[in-house]
Structure 1
Amino acid sequence: MDDAARPDDGTAPAYAARPAHIGEAEWRARVDLAACYRLAGRHGWDDLIYTHVSLRLPGRDDAFLINPFGLAFAEISASNLLVVDTRGQVIDGTGRRANPSGFAIHGAVHRARSDAHCVIHLHTTAGIAVSALAEGLLPLSQHALRFWHDIAYHDYQGLALGAQEQAQLVAELGDHRAMILRNHGTLTCGRTVAEAYVLMHTLEKACAIQLAALAAAQGGGGLHVPPAEVLERSHAQLTADSEPEGALEWPALLRGLLREDPGFAR
């Protein structure tokens, strides 16, 4: 059945018609990735044209979808995404431009983690602010508890990300699905676009809540941190499901985006 003809049962959105030269699995991947870009842009998570979301091409370990260099998140659509190799070089024959240096972090994570199909790296105000705090992410909210003792850190070493730093970054990431890059930003990786997006949404909200709480505490109020046993139990509860996070949220997000900003799916 063509994607455009799929019935809408209220849980799954109807995808746009698929171009004949693109296979069904790749088109679905493109639609999901374009939706992620548009949703991120609507949240104000973009940084002009300088951050990225990448996705491994279905069935390939050496090819990835990413945004064309120079387009804003709000301009990304399923059909204008680029295909790049492990070095961030465009291999789709279109002659369009990617940002190889912007793909350096993404490529390192994709190469090191076979389960990291989607990688999101952002420079949000809240994320960078928390990354600049010596204590990093604090367990001040239920959102933050998703990452209690379950988030990696990487110290800032400058603009260039050479082979040595790439190796260091992926070693620090380990099997975590989220990382705070000190004085730089945040990163999440997921088995699906939905998982990477929902993890970033949770992390971004945790950072914003922390900044608000710290600001309020400056006015004379104290901060309350739950007991250690509560932190451990809550994190275990929040991560008990072994299935990729975001499976329930993603169809609803796509339905909303199709109503309000359908250009992503063309």
Structure 2
Amino acid sequence: MTGTLTTAAVPADGTAGRSAEELRLRRELAAVYRLVAHFRMTDLIFTHISVRVPGPEQHFLINPYGLLFEEITASNLVKIDLAGNPVEESPYPVNPAGFVIHSAIHAARPDAHCVLHTHTRAGCAVAAQADGLLPVNQIALEFHDRVGYHDYEGVALNLDEQRRLVADLAGHPALILRNHGLLTVGRTPGEAFLRMYYLDKACEIQTTARAGGARLVLPSPEVSELAARQLAGEDTDSDLRDEQAAALAWAALLRLAHRIAPDHTD
């Protein structure tokens, strides 16, 4: 499905006349697309990463339908409304059906400025396992009791599924879509990407550990909860805390994006 609605012309260079905040978001979102491609988390032209544009209109930026993630730039991102229809002229189509999951979460979670969805091998493997994500490793403990699960209902084309998606995500930063894939949300594109990077890494570790066939050693629920609070910076009893970790990691990733895909800011 594609949308062709046009309500306003966008300047030919894709940047003139835009607010500084929208330009920043466009460049950060384009960087996330390139990073997802770099770390081999794509599914060709399928799956999406969306970010809310500031303002009362509830407009969002999303990838042009048909472009590989490695082709995404700040200027070719498409601005859409909550129904997935484009609100500016663009030479590219959009896929409103692909925005069904994203629109539900954006509408229900004011803090979910960015929504990132993947179909990675490890993510799909864990999404098919009855016990879901296990506390196999410290990386997984970031998501201990902080990830929702949504049962598979077929391809997400029915709007009625949106309320169940939202209920299953609840207030969590991540959602495992059974028999489908992974989803993370964030206040910024960087936060959503870092969560996805580590959620997918946790799934890789779990599938590797299970492939060995030996019985898994798992920490107790009490230790798992402690580690989750520590990793989230919520444990006030810790002697040491790292307040800069996420900001430093995102800055390093932006430098990586500039090295591997300097055109993403175009």
- Shared fold per TM-score greater than 0.5: yes
Of 16, 20, 23, the match for 2:19: 23
SS at match of 2:246: coil
Alpha-carbon shift at residue 162 of structure 1 (Å):
2.0
Give the TM-score, by structure 2 length. 0.88
Deviates more, 1:19-28 or 1:43-52: 19-28
1:183-222 equivalent positions in 2, closer than 5 A? 183-216=179-212, 218=213, 221-222=214-215
TM superposition shift of 1:247: 2.4
| Corresponding residue SS for 2:88 | coil
Q: 1:98 aligns with which of 76, 84, 94?
A: 94
Identical aligned residues as a percent: 49
Residue 137 (structure 2) aligned to one of 141, 144, 149: 141
Instruction: Give the letter for the 2:250 counterpart.
Output: W
Give the corresponding residue for 2:223.
230
- Give the superposed CA RMSD: 1.9
Gaps of 5+ in 2: 1-12, 236-242
Shift of 1:227: 1.9
- For 2:256, the equivalent position in structure 1 comes to 256
**Local SS of the residue matching 1:247:** helix
Partner in structure 2 of residue 71 of structure 1: 67
Q: What is the CA distance between 1:232 and its match in structure 2?
A: 1.3
Distance 1:187 1:145, change over 3 A: same
Q: 2:109 aligns with which of 113, 137, 145?
A: 113
Report the secondary structure of 1:186's partner residue. strand
Residue 126 (1) aligns with residue 119 (2): no
What amino acid is aligned across from residue 231 of structure 1 in structure 2? S
| Cα separation, 2, equivalents of 1:124 and 1:85 | 27
Where 2:202 maps in the other structure, the secondary structure is: helix
State which of 30, 33, 36 in structure 1 corresponds to 2:29: 33
Aligned to 1:9: none
Residue deviations 1:163-209, cap 9 Å, x none? 32100110111110100000000000000111100000110000000
Change (3 A) 1:25 1:68: same
| Counterpart pick for 2:45 among 36, 45, 49 | 49
Q: Could you state the TM-score of these two structures normalised by the residue count of structure 1? A: 0.88
In 2: Cα distance, 1:225 partner to 1:260 partner = 38
Inter-partner Cα distance in structure 1 for 2:246 and 2:104: 24
Contact 2:14 2:76 in 1 (8 A): no
Using a 3 Å threshold, how does the CA distance of structure 1 residues 250 and 61 change in structure 2: closer, same or farther? farther
Q: Offset at 1:254? A: 0.8
The secondary structure found in structure 2 opposite 1:248 is helix
Within a 5 Å distance, the mapping from 1:155-194 to structure 2 comes to 155-194=151-190
Q: Which residue of 2 aligns with 1:11?
A: none
Distance, in Å, in 1 between the alignment partners of 2:234 and 2:247 is 11
Cα gap change, 1:77/1:60 in structure 2, threshold over 3 Å: closer, same or farther? farther
Question: Structure 1 residues 61, 244: closer, same or farther in 2, change over 3 A?
Answer: farther
Amino acid at match of 1:30: R
| Counterpart contact for 2:59–2:80, Cα < 8 Å | yes
